[in-house]
Structure 1
Amino acid sequence: MKSIVWLFSIFISFGALGTEQELQPTKSGLYDVGGFKLYLECYENDKPQLILEQGFGLSGSDGVWLKNIKRLKNDFSVCLYDRAGLGKSEKGPVPFTVNDMSRRLRNLLQAANVKSPYYFAGHSYGSYIINSYNNLFPKEVLGAVLIDPPTFGYFYTMGTRWPKELKTDNKQLLRQMNFELTVLDPLFEKVPEKVDHMKSYKELKNASTFGSKPLITVRAKNTDKRYDPPFVPDEIAQKMDDLDSNADGYFKSLSKNSKIVYSESEKHFLHIHDSDLVVKSIKELVSK
């Protein structure tokens, strides 16, 4: 993991990076999930159902996935959506947790008559929602691809690794500390999704594994670089480094049928920058 990539991916939406207008959904619109509506878009056929999850603050309706959907539609019936307050979806009650997001997704799929069971593919934070969905509704999950996901505890570590007594004149260090501590405030104004990360951590801490379901983790190229910039003291940086060094072990432990593959790209948005590997990995779910 690289600090600057993860930090900026929390707050910045890529927007429509590669819209393919000629691919038309078979189903699209807003569906009530319990007092508010979420936007769903599907490219349906008689193939196994695939649900695509986006990274933090990003929306499925931005068009980024369409090129990949064109390559997947012969193997899957594909749906993607916008979480509450993002893209074309309405805002719902805030703050919310990762389990709330999973329940909202389930309500959305049921309202739109998208029948289970499902394969999932999720980028970055989307992996947390997939993990939650599998924990809450295990019979509805067939397998998953996690695309450059943060290991479990990433956001929790951001909010807990900074000593309360820390005093420094280093403006860069103060800026990073104050930024990371915003995860403790789910209603922080500039955060696109009002997630209670600390409560979500507790919800996933003892989550069930995927059992023997196929699980493929696609990670960005391992550069062996330190997670934090040099100005972060070693005793603070070590917690993130430990989390990163144990990541492969964590992802392998999620399923008895687990596989980890590394991209040649160092980019975080691998479904854009290494779409061949991502598409190949998703297709592998139905061949395992």
Structure 2
Amino acid sequence: MRVIRRCLSLSHEKIEVIIKGKTGSPILIVSGMASSFDEWYELTEALSKSNRVIMFHRPGLGKSELCGTKRNTQKVVNEMVEIIHKLHITEPVTLVGHSYGGLCVQHFMKQYPEKVLGVVLVDSTSVDFGVLDELDLPVMNEDSTDDAWLQKCLSYSTMKTDEIKSLIEPIILTQKELSFPPEIQKRLLEFPLNPTLYKAMYFEISNWKHDAQVIKNMEVCPDLPLIVIGRDKEHCVSIGIREGLPETEITLLEDKWEQLIKEQIYLTKKSNLIFAKGSNHSVHLDRPDIIINSVRKIEAEIRSKGRKYEQTK
């Protein structure tokens, strides 16, 4: 299997890209905020056996340059368009977006529906995620509000790698990540030590509520196949309780998150909803099989429609 890691020169910066597979329709995966594409190792290994799989690190992440002082979903959409062009991809792509990456994918699918074969949203940030701020979560919000995150990111962005390392160690890999090859584990351990990661996060968090409203006001894409995948609410509640969070607060949060996930099916008239049993927010690590099957289902539906069209000609 062909694996290419390279930096593409885009209009304003160089972007780190990984391409797996040589044949089949292209799949473009957009990872979550502060997330490395190496977390998707197992999943992309499987998909690349039959497809070309492309992932990239947004500016500030990994080896991608951060040249500007503004990061928002429109910037990500522009970068996705450039990456598709630079890689000479002329056919529609299947988009997979996780968390904040799902918000970026929603923006792309509304702005460029003609470039999209189908979409898989993986526990995606909702365009209405601002309602989470209205929940009564005094303990959980003590250090996890947007303002708290912005302050933390701003502080980390001015530090040296060793200073960040002293604050966030030990960095714990998940059981799934510990099964990845040593070089992938090494990259995952180094990823959160980069000061520009936190500068990029600062810009993304600063703009994401405005971005969400912009995306919400864009026209829907009624004809695009869409599969919405959400995390397992009960599983997440039990994890939160084990970690010492108040049961009433974690249950309130998970109830609202589930509602927001359910509402994403209205992005198109051709959508399906799946909840990934046994998974937390990192569905790509806990239940990669569900994401893989969802991509396969979209491709099968497209092929089936193509055959039906040919039969009626």
Q: Fold-level match, TM-score > 0.5?
A: yes
**Mapped partners of 1:116, 1:51: distance in 2:** 12
Aligned residue runs from structure 1 range 1-288, under 5 A: 24-25=2-3, 27-60=4-37, 62=38, 64-154=39-129, 156-157=130-131, 161=134, 173=138, 176-177=141-142, 179-182=144-147, 188-190=154-156, 191=198, 192-193=200-201, 194-195=203-204, 196-223=207-234, 229-230=245-246, 243-244=256-257, 246-288=259-301
If the length of structure 1 is used for normalisation, what is the TM-score? 0.75
Q: Structure 1's 54 and 221: CA in aligned 2 closer, same or farther, altered over 3 A? A: same
| RMSD, matched Cα | 3.1
Structure 1 residue identity aligned to 2:295: I
Residue 51 of structure 1: how far off its partner (Å)? 0.4
Structure 1 residue identity aligned to 2:225: P
Q: Structure 1's 177 and 78: CA in aligned 2 closer, same or farther, altered over 3 A? A: same
Q: Structure 1's 276 and 44: CA in aligned 2 closer, same or farther, altered over 3 A? A: closer
Structure 1 residue matching 2:54: 3-state secondary structure: strand
**Post-superposition CA distance 1:162-210 (Å, at most 9, x none):** 89xxxxxxxx937725531328959744445221123212221212323
Residue 142 of structure 1: how far off its partner (Å)? 1.1
Unaligned runs of 5+ in 2: 157-197, 302-313
Unaligned runs of 5+ in 1: 1-22, 164-171
Q: Structure 1's 162 and 219: CA in aligned 2 closer, same or farther, altered over 3 A? A: closer
**Mapped partners of 1:102, 1:198: distance in 2:** 16
Q: Structure 1's 31 and 265: CA in aligned 2 closer, same or farther, altered over 3 A? A: same
Residue 138 of structure 1: how far off its partner (Å)? 1.4
**Mapped partners of 1:146, 1:216: distance in 2:** 6
**Are the aligned partners of 1:38 and 1:81 in contact in 2 as well (CA < 8 Å)?**
yes
Structure 2 residue identity aligned to 1:113: H
**Structure with higher helix content:** 2
**Mapped partners of 1:263, 1:85: distance in 2:** 30
**Mapped partners of 2:297, 2:73: distance in 1:** 27
**Are the aligned partners of 1:265 and 1:273 in contact in 2 as well (CA < 8 Å)?**
yes
Paired residue total: 250
